[in-house]
Structure 1
Amino acid sequence: MLWFLFCVALLLGGYFFYGAFIEKVFGIKSERTTPAFSKTDGVDYVPMSKSKVYLVQLLNIAGVGPIFGPIMGALYGPAAMLWIVLGCIFAGAVHDYFSGMLSVRNGGASVPAITGKYLGNGAKHFMNIFALVLLLLVGVVFVSAPAGMLTNLVNQQTDLAMPMLTMVIIIFSYYVIATIVPIDKIIGRFYPFFGALLVFMSVGLVVALGFSSEHSLLGDYEMSMMFTNMNPNDMPLWPALFITIACGAISGFHATQSPLMARCLENESNGRFVFYGAMIGEGIIALIWCALALSFFGSVEALSEAVSAGGPGAIVYDTSIGLLGVFGGIVAFLGVVILPITSGDTAFRSSRLIMAEYFNMPQKSIRNRLLMALPLFVLGAVLTQVDFGIIWRYFGFANQTTAVMMLWTASAYLLRHNKLHWVATVPAMFMTTVVITFILNSSTLGFGLGIDIATTLGVIAMLMITTYVIKTSKGKHIADEPVSEPTTIKAKPLEN
């Protein structure tokens, strides 16, 4: 229990100390009018309170990633918890803060436009393709995962034999509606409640485990195991762990979601709480599920058998029912199912906005929104027929590659403004090495090279990219988008 609480304390300390430092490096301007006011359109640019934006951001970024990823990462042992803490504070939360605040500074622009501004048109086109591919994969994953979980729940708790296709159609229908209606009608109205439910259920499971007579929270693991690969399937910790645990430590998907809330942020002073803080919140959720997976099954060998038998979705169901009983377990399970659904619809919403930005098509009319959204849903529906395991593997790589691009964008921004760029450059260097080594080493997705050769080439490629970004960006200032003061609406002061 003390290890878990220590990790949570580190994450909270990261928010208050390192988060404040990152905010100072960026240099907020609380008097500056945000896009929520300067571009209000009643659809995507809608001012919302700090607490509401935080809860929506938390739900937007927290799909099944901070649950499924840490469960799979728990197979490596407590080392997974160490990466969640360090990755979240120094990489993931930094990534999320800059993806949100750079969007605020650039009129609510999507991540490909921001990348293009600071890294050039080549990077912009690459990011457009990668972001859309990632968002489609996210949308598909976040249809298939909750559909499978809900179908199993219905079939296990009732006498029905509901086919999974029925639940896929229901979830897809909801996505179509949520993607095209104004953001404050569904997302802004109901998601804060779902966010609060998520936090309540996550904490409830930990408390239940703490009082359980059958299970002990990390009781059989020693501190030395934090640095040991305990994977019973002989899976290498490097670089696979850093791809497996994505959303709980760092996730490129968040870079596509942060601009949604950047368009609703009332004051730049709210940015640390909303963007850096939501990532810390997701890190705590990831810690909870990693600890639950390690503790509930007693050993990584038993966890591995449970994963092989039913996948991470079954782990969530068994843990929830086992700790909270049938009623409480079902409520907790539904709280988990909400996560991918509330991220899936915003994934398609982000895709619509990126497409609209690329084609310069205003989104105030419902006709234009449908014109952008429907082709994405058709393609997404086709991809749901692909095996979930294959989609998940490609999602993991695409996700972390997108994160790498966003970190280099933040680094370029800081270099161009003569600020301390290393806060973004160092995690960018590390994650660049991770994704290049992974794709070179992977025999299923990549080139199947030996790990030593793949790592060496990954380091060389990382150093070349680092040199290029520093050389082409340092001191070459690019101004933030000018914001004209509206005549009737002023930026709201920071809320207490």
Structure 2
Amino acid sequence: MVTFLGAIVLLVLGYVFYSKFVERVFVIDNDTSTPAYTKRDNLDFVPMSWWKGNLIQLLNIAGLGPIYGAVAGALYGPSAFIWIVVGCIFAGGVHDYFSGMLSMRHGGAQFPSLVGRYLGNSVRAFINLLSLVLMLLVAAAFTAGPAQLISQLTPLTFMTALAVIFTYFLLATILPVNKVIGKIYPVLGGILLFMAISIGIALLFFDRPIPNLTLSNLHPGELPLWPLLMVTISCGAISGFHSTQSPIIARTMKKESDGRKIFYGAMVIEGIIALIWAAAGMTFFNGTAGLQEALAAGGPSGVVNEISTSLLGTLGGILAILGVIILPITTGDTALRSSRMILAEYLSKFFNMENKGRLLLITFLLAAPTFYLSTIDYTFLWRYVGWTNQVVASVMLWTGAVYLMKHNKFHWICGVPAMFMTAVVCTYIFYAPEGLGMDYTLSMIIGSILTLFVLIWYVVQIVRYRKLHKKGGLKAA
């Protein structure tokens, strides 16, 4: 229990102190009007208060991510606590802050546009495609589960439930951000928080102690902790999907100082939620072996339902149903909204995207493959979400690092976690079954070599920008 409570305290301290340091490195300016005012269109660019932005951002980036991922990551034991705390403070919080603030600084630009500006158009073309694939996979994966549960609890068939959900998706995607998302999401964000806090308090009085820190890998299947844990628990530590969601709220910010509360703050709250559910997974089933059996029997939704109803009674059952149905749907609709915004931004080079009919057509074109993907195996989809998600996270951190180098600022706050995540994905892609499925030792060797090449590139960029600043070719900002 000491480890669990200490981890929560560290996350809070990380927000209080490290987020302020990150903000000072970035340098905010409240005298400059934000895109919410300069580009107001009453669709995507609409001013909203920071607390609404924080709750909407939390729901956009979280959904069931910090619940399902944390429960699966709990199979590794209390080592999951370390990753959530360190990942959230030094990687995820920084990642989310820069993805939101750089978008705001560049007129509400989408993630691929930021990548192209700082890493080049070839990387932008790759990340455009990867971001769209990631968001369609997320939307599909987070729709199939709720539709299945609705079909079990109501007279509706699976396909009918799916059609109802996608009808809502289309409305949420094309209506102004303050009409549906701005009104409903703060309430749903509050439900997500209430659910996690209730479980956390109940755990403190549970008849089994929350495990304390051990550096041993307790995974019953003897899966290696590196790099699998860093991909299994993404929401709650660092998730590339967040960088596709941040521009939604970046377009609604009233002032730059709201960014720390919205982006870094939502990430820390998500980290606390992940800590609570990781602790619940380890504790409730009397160890990782019991958790593995529960996951095999009922999947993550069954585990969440059993924990909630047992610890919180009828209230827990209601919250579990609300969570398993509503929360993933709210992630799916903003995933589609972001993909619509990314594709519209790309097509704006060729067409006038202020045309409402074209925006509607784009939405339908994106919804169609997502609807199809929702009808296939959920676990198959989720396997590919993991590694694409963390590749996107690595690219966003490198974007932030180059931005800081270009402006002669302390680039290490993005560069160090970017190197770490690069090492994770370079190894994971070769080892994981959804990757190349190679031998673990060989995957480690190849991953290390590729990471070394990226490190050399990083050093070259550092030297290059230092020379440019000395020659006066670039101005510090």
Q: Fold match, TM over 0.5?
A: yes
Unaligned ranges ≥5, structure 1: 155-159, 483-496
Give the deviation of 1:308 after TM superposition.
0.4
Partner of 1:287: 275
Q: CA deviation at 1:445?
A: 1.9
Give the structure 1 partner of residue 434 of structure 2.
445
Identity over the aligned pairs, expressed in percent? 48
* 1:204-215 map, 5 Å: 204-212=198-206, 215=207
Question: Residues of 1 paired with 2:409 and 2:240: CA distance?
Answer: 23
Q: Which residue identity lines up with residue 134 of structure 2 in the other structure?
A: L
Q: Is the 8 A contact 2:64 2:323 kept in 1?
A: no
**In 2, Cα distance between equivalents of 1:429 and 1:448:** 23
Q: Which residue of 1 aligns with 2:454?
A: 465
Look up the SS of the partner of 2:88 in the other structure.
Answer: helix
Contact kept, 8 Å, 1:206 with 1:288, in 2: the verdict is yes
Match of 2:404 among 410, 414, 417: 414
CA distance in 2, matches of 1:203, 1:327: 13
Counterpart of 1:435 in structure 2: which amino acid?
Answer: V
- Judge conservation of contact 1:96–1:276 (CA < 8 Å) in 2: yes
Change in Cα spacing, 1:292 to 1:363, as seen in structure 2 (3 Å) is farther
Match of 1:474 in 2: 465
Q: Is 1:351 paired with 2:345? A: no
Aligned amino acid, residue 175 of structure 2: V
TM-score, normalised to structure 1, is 0.91
Q: Deviations over 1:218-264 (max 9, x none)?
A: 0xx343x2x11101111111111111111111000000000110000
Pair 1:105-2:93 in alignment? no
Give the partner amino acid of 1:396.
Answer: G
User: How far apart are 1:145 and its partner, in Å?
Assistant: 2.4
What displacement does 1:149 show?
3.8
Find 1:431's aligned residue among 411, 421, 424.
Answer: 421
Look up the SS of the partner of 1:268 in the other structure: coil
1:192 aligns with 2:182: no
Please name the residue that 1:216 is paired with.
208
- Asked whether the 8 Å contact 2:406–2:474 carries over to 1, the reply is no
Q: CA deviation at 1:470?
A: 4.4
Partners of 1:467 and 1:239 in 2: CA distance: 22
Letter in 1 for 2:431: N
CA distance in 2, matches of 1:144, 1:469: 41
Aligned-partner Cα distance in 1 for 2:326–2:381: 20
Unaligned runs of 5+ residues in structure 2 are none
Corresponding residue for 1:404? 394
1:379 equivalenced with 2:369 (yes/no): yes
* 1:489 alignment counterpart: none
Residue in 2 that maps onto 1:11: 11
Matches within 5 A, 1:75-474: 75-152=75-152, 154=153, 162-212=156-206, 215-218=207-210, 221-223=211-213, 225=214, 227-360=215-348, 361=351, 363-442=353-432, 444-472=433-461, 474=465
Q: TM-score by structure 2 length?
A: 0.94
Alpha-carbon distance, 1:82 to partner: 1.1
Runs of at least 4 residues of structure 1 off by over 6 A? 477-480
Answering whether residue 35 of structure 2 is matched by residue 56 of structure 1, we say no
- After superposing the two structures, state which structure 1 stretch, 325-334 or 47-56, moved more: 325-334
Task: Determine the structure 2 residue equivalent to 1:157.
Answer: none
**Gap change, CA 1:169 and 1:301, over 3 Å in 2:** same
Displacement of 1:364: 4.3
Letter in 1 for 2:13: G
User: Which residue is equivalent to 1:492?
Assistant: none
Say whether the 8 Å CA contact 1:103–1:262 is kept in structure 2.
yes
Residue 336 of structure 1: CA displacement?
4.8
Letter in 2 for 1:102: L
